């Protein structure tokens, strides 16, 4: 038998179908010693896996788990943290001197600038590779593990992928992100990253104290880290050994945050780059990372003696510092539509670490809804005052950027209502606004005293006392908040504008007034919607269509029950934002009567911007364009339907779908004439949404795919019953039996279905 050379086997595997490719590569990785040939194929394998400007790689971001579970499971098994790919990385680590160069020019612009300046964290200082001719930093010299993690993270920044894959939230890439976070950032401080690699000593000991680079997107003095391993230099354990126990966690934390939270630079030659490289998929995965790092970092307070304690604290600090700039960037560039909710959600996750103290990866790995409000119900307490102070601009500055966007939206539209409701609900939780209000007052008031109670001082004009919280003086946190404002807003010309200043009072009243106006509009829309729903089945032609099951666009019927949630949410928003802005509840009543006479044309906001005016008019042009997105067969029984008959027909259809569901699905996709007939009789497959309540009072929207199915609901309408009785009476006058009448109905219905199927097939064949 003739044996192919090692590299010939490797290249042959790359050209095989996916299953055979993975089996062949696994065999090569497991059976080959860590020799020069294995070292040589490693970067070629990485290049083949991940997308680049010249190829699409293996399409990790476009492969959806539900569509082909066999192949996707095999691919996930190959790339999982203890799969063949990582076994190859660990095998190559046997040579601590082995390095692979990563060109600097493929990194985000802001990270390139940081590395070129030379003031960077220890993680990069170990890897900088100088160009011998220009004496500038030209590349990063990385070990195999770091090289793989960099390429994996960079894959998310490439845009030559299927842009629809993020919507389902179940791509292979998203699953691997969850697996890597769970494996390399273990929540339990006593858990080690597996497998243990005691022989590797390729990381340089960290000098103490370690200060991160003074670069944009970081706050240097707030991020003073003594030792990422969590063990001081005076400890008997060698520092090299302690860092080697956590270096993989350090890599994942530093690389994921620096690459995914990078802020693209605006310049004259590449003005469109920010919009192109920021995708909803990226924002959703960054949110997953934010939640997990919050849970990961919470554990450092439990046992400061563990080796990873300082790294856990460091992870949250650099994530929040970068997250502030990243969210500000998203707010600036995001389009004015309902997709802005993913930006709202990542921001709310960033500023609520108390919600994420346990594992959320199991909910994130293959979610049914990218907006689900996972997390526990841990309340905000005094232990988080330091976090709020260190990230004070993330609450107040970003809030002031986001609120004007809602002034340019139709708040009566349900999706916009939900965004506003989520924002108001978070900021109205106990203690948050009083803490922020007192910190801001202490920052802006040069004559503040020293013993004001937080709970009593909110909405209090007395400024002769100091700021305290549950007996704790806030002057220490005020200094930290001032420092955060100065360092996170790098511009020397930046001047902080108070959220609760007197000059913002008019904006607050106008904002609440618009919510009240939207609530009134939403209530009118509900009434109009009910009226249209009751009238849409009137008329002879509509009755005939209903009788013969010929109604079109039946999936687009609206649900009055869901539609009614809009006014309820807006009513809550009125109270939420009255609390947030410190408005007296008694002020709301005159506002409600006054706003009835306020129109878009005569409002102060409408005259402030022609663009905002035009956008609002366009959004209000179709106030009833909200459609029911749930299961059409589970719509509330309407007044034109017979309750008993609808429920009985639903039970029959459900049983038939359970028994013949697979047959229906097969017939629906059949290309022959039978398939055309099936597509006339069955309901088309659709994706519906339903509300699911968690253990608290939160409601989440969950997507569900409905296959082709039989529906008999239209037979339960009063119109069908009346026509059926009229036909039966006519046949009785003609001395025909009821059985013959049923037979004639089936024949007529069959002829209609055959005719429609034949016409559609003929039309496609022409």
Supply the DSSP string of 678-725, one letter for each residue: HHHHSBPPEEEEEEEE-SSS-EEEEEEEE-SB---GGGGBHHHHHHHH
Q: What is the pLDDT of residue 459?
A: 45
Q: What is the pLDDT of residue 417?
A: 94
| Listed range (346-350, 615-619, 730-734) with the worst mean pLDDT | 615-619
| Residue ranges of E strands in 587-637 | none
pLDDT bracket for residue 152 (50, 70, 90): very high
Q: Is the pLDDT of residue 55 over 70?
A: no
The pair of structure tokens assigned to 390 is 């260190």
Cα–Cα distance, 161 to 245 (Å, whole number): 36
Cα–Cα distance, 535 to 438 (Å, whole number): 55
Helix, coil or strand: residue 285: helix
Which comes out higher in pLDDT, residue 182 or 701?
182
pLDDT in tens, 112-143: 888 888 777 878 988 888 776 666 778 999 99
pLDDT in tens, 281-331: 899 999 999 999 999 998 765 555 556 788 899 999 999 999 999 999 999
Q: How are the residues of the chain apportioned to helix, strand and coil, as percentages rounded to the nearest 5?
A: 60, 5, 35
pLDDT bracket for residue 758 (50, 70, 90): confident
Q: What is the pLDDT of residue 474?
A: 73
Q: What is the pLDDT of residue 327?
A: 96
Q: What is the pLDDT of residue 621?
A: 43
pLDDT bracket for residue 559 (50, 70, 90): low
Q: Is the pLDDT of residue 227 over 50?
A: no
CA distances to 44, 46, 123, 308, 728 from 90, in Å: 17, 15, 19, 21, 79
| Count of helix runs (H) and strand runs (E) in the chain | 33, 10
**Residue % of the chain over a pLDDT of 70:** 70
Can you say whether the dihedral through the CA atoms of 668, 673, 674, 680 is positive or negative?
positive
* Beta-bridge mates of residue 103: 139
- Which are the contacts of 338, defined by CB distance < 8 A and separation ≥ 6? 413, 415, 416, 419
Spell 725-743 as b/e; 16+ CB within 10 A means b.
eeeeeebeeeeeeeeebee
- Which are the contacts of 518, defined by CB distance < 8 A and separation ≥ 6? 410, 411, 412, 417, 570
Q: What is the pLDDT of residue 303?
A: 54
Cα–Cα distance, 289 to 256 (Å, whole number): 8
| Nearest to 329, CA basis, from 415, 265, 411 | 265
Helix, coil or strand: residue 64: strand
CA of residue 451 relative to chain centroid, distance: 42
Contact indicator for 236, 254 with CB cutoff of 8 Å = no
- Which are the contacts of 504, defined by CB distance < 8 A and separation ≥ 6? 497, 498
Contact indicator for 261, 319 with CB cutoff of 8 Å = yes
Angle at 22 between CA 20 and CA 25, to 5 degrees: 105
Cα–Cα distance, 246 to 484 (Å, whole number): 29
**78, containing H or E segment:** helix 69-79
Which comes out higher in pLDDT, residue 724 or 203?
724
Q: What is the pLDDT of residue 273?
A: 41
Which comes out higher in pLDDT, residue 365 or 349?
349
Q: What is the pLDDT of residue 464?
A: 35
Q: Is the pLDDT of residue 271 over 80?
A: no
pLDDT bracket for residue 93 (50, 70, 90): very high
CA distances to 67, 296, 304, 546, 632 from 658, in Å: 21, 44, 56, 25, 17
The pair of structure tokens assigned to 195 is 């497998």
The pair of structure tokens assigned to 22 is 């993975």
| Listed range (220-229, 280-289, 321-330, 602-611) with the worst mean pLDDT | 602-611
Out of 177-186, 209-218, 238-247, 309-318, give the one with best mean pLDDT.
177-186
Cα–Cα distance, 645 to 640 (Å, whole number): 12
Q: Is the pLDDT of residue 546 over 60?
A: no
pLDDT bracket for residue 759 (50, 70, 90): confident
**139, containing H or E segment:** strand 137-142
DSSP letter string, 641-674: B-HHHHHHHHHHHHHHHHHHHHHHHHHHT--SHH
Q: Is the pLDDT of residue 199 over 80?
A: no
pLDDT bracket for residue 605 (50, 70, 90): very low
* Beta-bridge mates of residue 52: 55
CA of residue 428 relative to chain centroid, distance: 22
Q: Is the pLDDT of residue 172 over 80?
A: yes
pLDDT in tens, 66-80: 666 777 889 999 999
Q: What is the pLDDT of residue 38?
A: 92
**86, containing H or E segment:** helix 84-92
pLDDT bracket for residue 650 (50, 70, 90): confident
| Nearest to 160, CA basis, from 288, 88, 62 | 62
Cα–Cα distance, 642 to 277 (Å, whole number): 53
- Alpha helices in 334-431, H assignment, sequence order: 341-350, 361-364, 385-390, 392-406, 414-427
Average pLDDT, the chain: 77
Q: Is the pLDDT of residue 263 over 60?
A: yes
- Which are the contacts of 165, defined by CB distance < 8 A and separation ≥ 6? 61, 62, 63, 64, 171, 281
Q: What is the pLDDT of residue 607?
A: 40
CA of residue 728 relative to chain centroid, distance: 56
What's the whole-number mean pLDDT along residues 447-469?
44
Angle at 698 between CA 693 and CA 701, to 5 degrees: 60
Q: What is the pLDDT of residue 540?
A: 54
Burial grade of 718 (CB within 10 A; 0-12, 13-18, 19 or more): middle
Q: What is the pLDDT of residue 619?
A: 38
pLDDT in tens, 474-528: 778 888 998 899 888 766 678 888 999 888 899 999 999 999 999 999 998 888 8
Q: Is the pLDDT of residue 468 over 80?
A: no
Contact indicator for 630, 552 with CB cutoff of 8 Å = no
**Residue % of the chain over a pLDDT of 90:** 31
Would you put residue 210 in left (φ > 0), alpha (ψ -120 to 50) or beta?
beta
**452, containing H or E segment:** strand 452-453
SS (H, E, C) 464-521: CCCEEECCEECHHHHHHHHHHHHHHCCCCCCCCCCCCCHHHHHHHHHHHHHHHHHHHH
What's the whole-number mean pLDDT along residues 677-693?
76
pLDDT bracket for residue 218 (50, 70, 90): very low
Q: Which is it for strands 467-469 and 452-453: parallel, antiparallel or unpaired?
A: parallel
Give the number of other Cβ atoms within 10 Å of residue 615's Cβ.
Answer: 15
DSSP letter string, 192-251: PPSS--TT---SPPPPSSEE----TT--TGGGEES-TTS--TTSSS-HHHHHHTTHHHHH
Q: What is the pLDDT of residue 329?
A: 94
Q: Which is it for strands 472-473 and 467-469: parallel, antiparallel or unpaired?
A: antiparallel
Q: Is the pLDDT of residue 403 over 90?
A: yes
């Amino acid at each position: 038998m003739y044996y192919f050379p090692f590299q010939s086997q490797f290249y042959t595997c790359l050209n095989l179908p996916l299953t055979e490719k993975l089996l062949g590569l696994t065999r090569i990785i497991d059976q080959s010693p860590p020799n020069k040939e294995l070292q040589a194929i490693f970067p070629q394998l990485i290049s083949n896996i991940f997308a680049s400007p010249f190829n699409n790689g293996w399409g990790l971001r476009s492969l959806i788990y539900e569509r082909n579970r066999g192949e996707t499971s095999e691919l996930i098994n190959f790339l999982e943290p203890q799969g063949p790919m990582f076994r190859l990385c660990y095998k190559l680590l046997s040579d601590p001197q082995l390095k692979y160069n990563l060109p600097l020019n493929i990194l985000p612009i802001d990270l390139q600038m940081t590395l070129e300046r030379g003031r960077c964290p220890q993680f990069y200082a170990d890897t900088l590779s100088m160009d011998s001719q220009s004496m500038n930093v030209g590349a990063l010299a990385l070990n195999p593990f770091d090289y793989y993690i960099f390429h994996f993270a960079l894959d998310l920044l490439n845009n030559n992928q299927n842009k629809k894959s993020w919507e389902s939230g179940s791509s292979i890439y998203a699953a691997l992100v969850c697996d890597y976070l769970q494996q390399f950032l273990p929540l339990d401080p006593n858990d080690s990253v597996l497998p243990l690699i005691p022989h590797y000593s390729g990381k340089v000991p960290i000098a103490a104290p370690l200060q991160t680079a003074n670069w944009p997107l970081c706050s240097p003095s707030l991020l003073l880290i003594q030792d990422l391993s969590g063990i001081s230099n005076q400890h008997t354990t060698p520092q090299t050994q302690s860092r080697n126990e956590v270096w993989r966690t350090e890599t994942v934390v530093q690389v994921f945050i620096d690459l995914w939270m990078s802020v693209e630079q605006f310049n004259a030659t590449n003005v469109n780059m920010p919009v192109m490289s920021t995708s909803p998929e990226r924002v959703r995965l960054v949110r997953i990372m934010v939640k997990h790092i919050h849970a990961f970092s919470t554990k450092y307070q439990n046992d400061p003696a563990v080796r990873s304690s300082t790294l856990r604290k460091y992870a949250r600090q650099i994530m929040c510092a970068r997250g502030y700039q990243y969210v500000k960037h998203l707010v600036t560039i995001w389009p004015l539509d309902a997709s802005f909710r993913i930006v709202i959600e990542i921001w709310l996750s960033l500023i609520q670490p108390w919600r994420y103290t346990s594992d959320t990866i199991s909910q994130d790995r293959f979610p049914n809804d990218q907006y689900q409000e996972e997390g526990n119900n841990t309340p905000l307490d005094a232990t988080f005052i330091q976090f709020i102070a260190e990230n004070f601009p993330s609450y107040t500055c970003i809030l002031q950027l986001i609120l004007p966007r809602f002034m340019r939206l139709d708040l009566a539209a349900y999706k916009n209502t939900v965004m506003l409701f989520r924002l108001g609900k978070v900021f109205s939780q106990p203690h948050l606004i009083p803490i922020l209000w007192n910190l801001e007052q202490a920052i802006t008031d040069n004559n503040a005293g020293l013993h004001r109670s937080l709970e009593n001082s909110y909405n209090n004009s007395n400024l002769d006392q100091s700021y305290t919280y549950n007996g704790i003086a806030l002057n220490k946190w005020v200094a930290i908040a001032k420092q955060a404002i100065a360092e996170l807003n790098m511009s020397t010309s930046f001047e902080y504008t108070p959220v609760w200043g007197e000059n913002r009072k008019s904006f607050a009243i106008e904002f609440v007034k618009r919510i009240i106006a939207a609530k009134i509009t939403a209530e009118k829309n509900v009434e109009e919607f009910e009226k249209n729903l009751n009238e849409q089945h009137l008329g002879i032609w509509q009755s005939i269509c209903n009788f013969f099951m010929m109604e079109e666009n039946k999936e687009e019927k609206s649900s009055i029950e869901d539609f009614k949630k809009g006014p309820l949410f807006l009513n809550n928003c009125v109270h939420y934002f009255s609390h947030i802005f410190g408005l007296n509840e008694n002020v709301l009543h005159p506002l409600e009567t006054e706003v009835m006479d306020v129109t878009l044309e005569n409002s102060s906001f409408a005259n402030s911007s022609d663009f905002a005016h035009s956008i609002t008019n366009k959004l209000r042009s179709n106030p009833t364009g909200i459609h029911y997105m749930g299961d059409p067969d589970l719509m509330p029984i309407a007044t034109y339907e017979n309750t008993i008959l609808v429920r009985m027909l639903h039970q029959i259809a459900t049983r038939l779908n359970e028994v013949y569901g697979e047959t229906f699905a097969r017939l629906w996709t059949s290309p022959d004439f039978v398939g055309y007939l099936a597509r006339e009789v069955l309901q088309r497959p659709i994706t519906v949404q339903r509300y699911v309540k968690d253990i608290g009072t939160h409601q989440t929207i969950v997507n569900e795919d409905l296959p082709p199915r039989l529906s008999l609901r239209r037979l339960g309408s009063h119109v069908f019953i009346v026509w059926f009785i009229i036909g039966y009476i006519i046949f009785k006058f003609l001395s025909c039996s009821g059985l013959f009448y049923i037979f004639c109905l089936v024949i007529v219905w069959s002829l209609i279905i055959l005719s429609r199927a034949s016409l559609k097939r003929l039309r496609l064949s022409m």
